[in-house]
Structure 1
């Protein structure tokens, strides 16, 4: 992530920090998962409506994230500027654990699964190739912490 975007995420995080809370990592990840069924249906529908002239894919939504010594915060990028907007999810660090990072996206990216204590569903994070080092670092810092 370039320094300008990193500073924008830090600016969005700063008002939410508790006294003494420190930011450790900032990056971007695709959060969630899209079923094969939904991908196929979307592709078929768009293909039928456009007579095959347009191809559509469905992907998990990209979110900026910031790991502090107390929490993991997720921010939605603005639709026009790409700047981080309002926080969409804030998870207490002591309630989350990450699986070890593994290869994703044909081995180019990284992927981890966050489990939140008290929640049934896990949260899948996929890190594109440019952000895989930060993804591995996040997974290492959260492995077995909950």
Structure 2
């Protein structure tokens, strides 16, 4: 059993007690959620470089989460745990209020980016799928309605 298969099983086990009667899981995957501005990236790298006299290099990235798409909701579990297992439930979106923009390739084609449109919100939510989860990203975009 691969590591990703094991994480999917662990995420399913974490989500199961939260599912309503008759609610079914359509997809379990992982993604980096949100964005980090260039300004914050540069500031963090400069600060760490100065404090470490150039011996340490630091980067910042969006928060990694496990996603569980059910027939009713989209659940986000913390993946930034010491063991890598799914942590606490961080966010929950009702599926009828979520739409997906077209999938596009990220930096060097190694990632897949999908913008989620949230009903009633001016700004969406960016999901960046790393290499092992790119196919899941395309599947997620196909399972959600297309964003206008």
Normalising by structure 2, we get a TM-score of 0.94
- Please, which runs of 5 or more residues in structure 1 have no aligned partner? none
1:42-78, Cα deviation, whole Å (9 max, x unpaired) = 1111111111111100100100001001110000025
Number of aligned residues: 146
In 2, Cα distance between equivalents of 1:111 and 1:85: 23
The answer to whether structure 1 residue 48 and structure 2 residue 50 are counterparts is yes
Could you say what the CA RMSD is over the residues aligned between the two structures, in angstroms? 1.4
Contact 2:81 2:87 in 1 (8 A): no
- Structure 1, 1-10 or 11-20: larger mean CA deviation: 1-10
Contact 1:94 1:145 in 2 (8 A): no
- Please, which runs of 5 or more residues in structure 2 have no aligned partner? none
In 2, Cα distance between equivalents of 1:43 and 1:26: 33
- Structure 1, 25-34 or 82-91: larger mean CA deviation: 82-91
**After the TM superposition, which parts of structure 1 deviate over 3 Å for at least 4 consecutive aligned residues?**
none
Which structure is higher in strand share? Answer: 1
In 2, Cα distance between equivalents of 1:41 and 1:145: 34
In 1, Cα distance between equivalents of 2:108 and 2:98: 27
Contact 2:63 2:80 in 1 (8 A): no
- State the match for 1:4 in structure 2: 6
Contact 2:65 2:80 in 1 (8 A): no
